[in-house]
Chain A
Amino acid sequence: MKYFPLIWSNLGRRKLRTVLTMLSILVAFILYGYLAAIRQAFNAGVSVAGKDRLIVRHKVSLIQPLPQSYKQRIASIAGVAETTYSSWFGGIYQDKKNFFGQIPVVPEEFLSLYPELVLPKEQRAAWLATRTGAIAGRTTAKRFGWKIGDKIPLQATIWQPKKGAPTWTFDLVGIYDGIDDSTDTSNFYFRHDYFDEMRSIGEGQVGWYVVRVKDPNHAVEVAAAIDAEFANSNAETKAETEGAFVQAFAKQMGDIGTITVAILAAVFFTILLVAGNTMAQSVRERTEELGVLKALGFTNRTVLGLVLGESCLVALLGGGIGLLLASLLISRGDPTRGALPIFFFPTWDLLVGVLLTLGLGLVAGAFPAWQGMRLRIGDALRRT
């Protein structure tokens, strides 16, 4: 610590250069934070997906419906604990850009299958008692300023009502939370019986089934049994674990993890060159001073430590402020207004970010520090 004032003073030697270097590192770490949050958003479904849940959809594609009558047959397959069905509504709330998931479900079955959604008892009871009732996730309720008792109108895009204007109106009877940050609280759920009763087409058909298996270790066998049950029918199925389903869904956009790592690698390599060049330049300018320090009795190792310390301090300050800003900005929520419902800066990535700042400082300062360490006093002083 006694060398800290010396290291700190050196940062003020060329203030503009130091500030610009720190800013470049800062921006890189804000980007790192956002990419970590985006990757988390895409992977969250996979990581939190119930290990004991299967998604059963039409073999051709998710948008092809399945008969509602499959429910009993699925329930009777060995290894199935419970099952329910859902559909995709795809309505518009006020404006197309106000995207959020709208899904008709069977409330009792749905809540039983998704214990990670926390809904107060009285709200649950209200939902079961109200055919037009709906529940919204906290994120979406906060986003639009909804409160219980509000009427929520959704303009139909696929499912036109049997009569009247093409608008469905729901009574908001509950607002659910997630058991942790990684639970998606952006969706809007309403009752499938009301949906069936009111829609002009598609009666008796559902979007997909959710199945809870008795033993997660046999999930693959149960999925195979379900597909076998409906093989050669008009609506063949594809059953898979929820994790695989979500992952496949995410991969429709590409391998987000690889894309993220590729972008970060390019950014950090560039920043490494910038910071390394700055440190090398800084050490070159101070050759005589390093020679003087050595003449005064500073050892090669101490000089090495001073240069590395300076490099790490620049990286830690720039990176630290960058990570802090990233945390603050990300905590404001999904910047896409709905496309990334689970959007937060994971603690693990934050810790990795801190280690990255330190690593960046060490790597950027390594060569200049080695040069400083190897500097011969006589040569350094002869430059004056």
Chain B
Amino acid sequence: MSGDGNNQVLVNVRQVEKVFTRGSETVHVLQGLELQVRRGEFLALMGPSGSGKSTLLNLIGGLDRPTRGAVEVAGDDLAHLGDTRLAAWRARHVGFIFQLYNLLPVLTAERNVELPLLLTHLNRAQRRQHAAAALQVVGLSHRSRHYPRQLSGGEQQRVGIARAIVTDPTLLLCDEPTGDLDRQSGDGILTLLQALNREHGKTIVMVTHDPHASARASRTVYLDKGQLSLAPPP
């Protein structure tokens, strides 16, 4: 599966293989996979459970390393970055949105959003200012002092999105962002992601099972048995 290959390519996955070993069993999750994501694109990545969608997302986000092949994002070959530099790279370039929101329950919405900014040189007041702005973008300024347990699922996911965008990353990676939400809340999240893509120019790669969600993306690719295709698997 190949993109246009021009200099607008933000994510370039080349001949990637990922093999997991569980005891004596070896599982080939991804095999010779090729994928390019253009800057400003909203890509939906679909496929059945166990097809390797999240694995691919983790490779693109620098959370894991391929067994073979290369993953380049914004010109950086992630294979050549050590653990510490890779962590700094993630902080600078990637915003993650998780299915189960993964907010820290002991922190308020505002403090959760502020978390990635702890890794920057911003002072406390600046961090608060940025967090407030991110919460405003997701429409949750009025809930900034609430703890996750005091928020609905949709609101928690909005906080998760605010946390993902607060550092103004190059790339947003979403792993089933509406998977744990009802249709109405899920629609709200998808609309928000669309707005981030269209109005703020964020490049988004979204893993989803839901065709309704993938319909909001500008392009959809399917992953099955470690291979990508443009058409859904039979």
Contact = CB atoms under 8 A, between A and B. Distances in A.
A9 B105 CA distance: 9
A3 B88 contact: no
Nearest to B106: A9
B119 interface: yes
Contacts of A202: none
- Name A's interface SS: helix
B222 interface: no
Nearest to A289: B104
Contacts of B115: 6, 293, 296
B223 to A, nearest CB: 17
A337 interface: no
Nearest to A380: B63
A295 B61 contact: yes
Interface stretch (B6-14, B94-102, B137-145): B94-102
Contacts of A13: 105-106
Contact of A296 (B64, B99, B111, B116): B116
A10 B99 CA distance: 23
B111 A9 contact: yes
A297 B119 contact: yes
Interface string A163-203: 00000000000000000000000000000000000000000
Given A6-B118, A297-B92, A292 B84 contact: no
A298 interface: yes
A162 to B, nearest CB: 80
Contacts of A2: 118, 124
B96 A296 contact: yes
Interface string A195-224: 000000000000000000000000000000
A301 B83 CA distance: 10
B107 interface: yes
A300 B84 contact: yes
Contacts of A381: 58, 63, 98, 102
Nearest to A13: B106
Interface string A341-384: 00000000000000000000000000000000000111001001
Interface string B95-136: 010111010111100010001101100001000000000000
Contacts of A297: 87-92, 116, 119
A9 B98 contact: no
B106 A296 contact: no
B83 A299 contact: yes
B6 to A, nearest CB: 29
A13 B104 CA distance: 10
A269 to B, nearest CB: 31
Nearest to A295: B96
Given A5-B111, A6-B107, A381-B98, A295 B118 contact: no
Nearest to B122: A2
Given A2-B118, A377-B58, A292 B105 contact: no
Interface string B180-202: 00000000000000000000000
A301 B118 contact: no
Interface string A2-42: 11011001101100000000000000000000000000000
A292 B102 contact: yes
Across the A-B interface, give the 7 residue pairs with the lowest CB-CB distance, nearest first.
A297-B91, A9-B106, A299-B87, A377-B63, A292-B102, A297-B90, A378-B64
Given A296-B116, A298-B119, A381-B63, 11 more contacts: A13-B105, A292-B96, A292-B104, A294-B87, A297-B89, A297-B91, A298-B91, A299-B88, A301-B84, A376-B64, A378-B63
Interface of A: 2-3, 5-6, 9-10, 12-13, 288-289, 292-302, 376-378, 381, 384
24 contacts: A2-B118, A2-B124, A6-B115, A9-B106, A292-B98, A292-B102, A294-B87, A295-B61, A295-B90, A295-B96, A296-B96, A296-B115, A297-B88, A297-B92, A297-B119, A298-B87, A299-B83, A299-B88, A300-B83, A300-B84, A301-B84, A378-B64, A381-B63, A384-B98
